[in-house]
Structure 1
Amino acid sequence: MTAPLPQNSTIGIIGGGQLGRMLAMAAARLGYRTVILEPQADCPAAQVANRQIVAAYDNPAALDELAKVSAVVTYEFENVPVRAAERLAVSVHVYPPARALEVSQDRLVEKTFLNGIGVKTADFRAVDGDADLEAGLAAFGRSGILKTRRMGYDGKGQRVFRDHSGGVTGSFAAMGGVPLILESFVPFEREISVIAARGLDGQLSAYDPAENVHRNGILHTSTLPASVARTTADAATDAAFSILAALDYVGVIGVEFFVLPGGGLLANEIAPRVHNSGHWTEAACAVSQFEQHIRAVAGLPLGDLSRHSGCVMENLIGDDIFRAPALLSEPDLVLHLYGKAEARPGRKMGHFTRLLSR
């Protein structure tokens, strides 16, 4: 694609959750139509899109239909089947590229990739059985976090070992007998993330890093500005830019980091999509992460990502949704609900952003 998408072109979005919803809203503001591929009927994204194809993400006929009606295809989550993205790419532009999915879907591949381009991570070991786990714990001082290599999110698929003195027999089977990774503990002071973008022309841009707090493995708040030195913020941005360039990436990416004592950084993970810790951008910036992503995949100029305010974004999880009426009475607060019919424990139902001074 060498020219920006004409007005009223259709952008295909794989995935119908809240991120797809906000992408569809941003696309509409810029004059584009959207079609959602999602197996759940009346998903959050379909409520605001022009059309939904109700089918599995790897359904060949559905993928061919999506390619037929779309000028470009993107996605809202990183577990899109790589083969599905590759099938689409034969006949339509797919951004970010399938390579980004391939790297991000496997934690071992991801960390090996990051180390290979000079981005540091926690120490790690592949675990394909109890013997590998025992060897890894011995190397990491009998402590570490055991994770599934694929499909884990919001703290799921993890087991913590802390000063473990007992045996590990049965641990691999208890985690499902799937490929695992053991990561060493990191003595971090705080967690930050960078939301960055790369355009079709290679232009790079990034928002200020957000300082993140998690509860029960789920993002609770993102605060701007983060309590880090300018050198640390710049190093995080530079690392994100290196990732974008290495993947020949187009679109928005989220990169999470641990901040060490002294200001050093270790990358935790990458998300080849718009990111929960970037939701604050719709309230504190002229151009949100969702608009920036649509700009990038549509071949438009990237926007100015400067903040006009400091802010705190907070997720509404489960029954937190019932706080909405009270929140709406507060000044300088932007509320966004996702249109989900049922509140369940651990389910993201919406978010709000309180605006502060710059």
Structure 2
Amino acid sequence: MKKKIIVYCFLFSLLPIINAQAQHIITFCGEAVPMNQQFIQDKLINVIKKQVNVVNLPSLRQRANSYFPLVEKYLKAYGLHPDLKYLPIVESGFLTKAESGVGARGIWQIMPATARGYGMQVGDNIDERENFDKATRVACQLIRDNYTGLRKLAGSVNWPLAIAAYNFGIGNILNAMKAQGNNYFTMKLNSETGLYVYKIIAVKELFEYPELYNSKFGYNVFSAKMGPRTQPQQTDLDVVNDPNILSAIEKELEKNKDKKAPEIKEEQYVLAHVNGKIKNFQDGDMITIVLDEDLQTSNYGLSFKGYSFGVQGWIIDDRVFFKLGYDHDVTLLDLDKQKGVLLTDLLAKKRIDVLLKNVVYKK
């Protein structure tokens, strides 16, 4: 019982991060994840926590950052959403020679039959699934074909289901849709496919909003020195839904079916500055931000010019990201509108002028 209490306390501590009420709007391929449904929120929190251990993010980051610009160009060329650049992290960790126990291979983990069906050479002497360009083109074609195929055969489609089909096959997803509808997040699928899209969303969150999660986990998930030292046992990684709460889930679904995430009205940019010249800055250290203009937020009210507040900073590559305490509503950018500030500036400059991007929601 003690172990369960520890886990539940950890999950509860993360709830403010991704609670829709707190305006932390999580999206996948431009579509809002229904975080107002408690069991979905709990499941994603659990997966985010475990992805820190399962995916060795510190060793992945350099490799991923090298591949991301290339993958994004292919995704754009095929009319696909840039969020799909995180799919290879879940599939292979961007390792070109990665191979699964069932024969999937390469960065995109394409099966032999699928590869041959799209004209790739797969044999003892040559395996084009290891070729980044050829494999990425085929993966993009396959994802696009899954989306258009499901729309044609089922009459409706969304990106979570199209990506679930990448893992499970379009035929299997089509059968599941006929039996259960078209909401991936509430469907009963095999354990791997049921977690597949959650894992991609979890990786996206950890890459794009590390400052929100670092302070909750207690270490920098992108630091090899501070990250987890050991890999967990497989039994610790399984996410199992308790059948005794199915009726409660159904009631929660009914109660929240008409709720929508807040709509964004506009993005404002407020001038502020960071007090710098901080010697020996380390992950989690506090710095001071001073407002140079009034900041009016949708959920936290008005903060006047001259107001100063302390925030935690986290070193990601050569920059420092800050958790401001406004969830996703307010983000600190430099004057070039890049997230965070340069670590060298924080160490050397007494004052660093910044912008606070403030998301204003429709009432």
- Tell me the TM-score normalized by structure 2: 0.26
Q: Which structure has the larger Rg over C-alpha atoms?
A: 2
Q: Which has the higher helix share?
A: 2
Q: Which has the higher strand share?
A: 1
